[in-house]
Amino acid sequence: MSALLYTTSLLTFMIGLVSEQITGLMYAHGEYAERDRPGDCGDEGDDEPANRA
């Protein structure tokens, strides 16, 4: 029974590490995209000005 608990906790920990790496890659990709095209938010077809309150 303790082997099952140990295996489950190790698996959960490893899934957390993989999740953290994927999240880091997503943020790094967004950071480089902003550096290459500053101010580009992906709405090229939107000609209306932003509503400012």
**pLDDT per residue as tens digits for the range 2-39:** 999 999 999 999 999 999 999 998 887 776 555 666 56
pLDDT of residue 33: 57
**pLDDT per residue as tens digits for the range 32-52:** 555 666 566 655 655 666 665
Q: State the pTM of this model.
A: 0.52
The Cα-based distances of 40 to 32, 33, 45, 52 in angstroms read 12, 9, 12, 19
Tokens 């957390």 found at: 16
pLDDT of residue 31: 63
Q: What percent of the chain has pLDDT over 70?
A: 55
pLDDT of residue 26: 85
Q: Tell me the domain boundaries of the chain.
A: 1-33
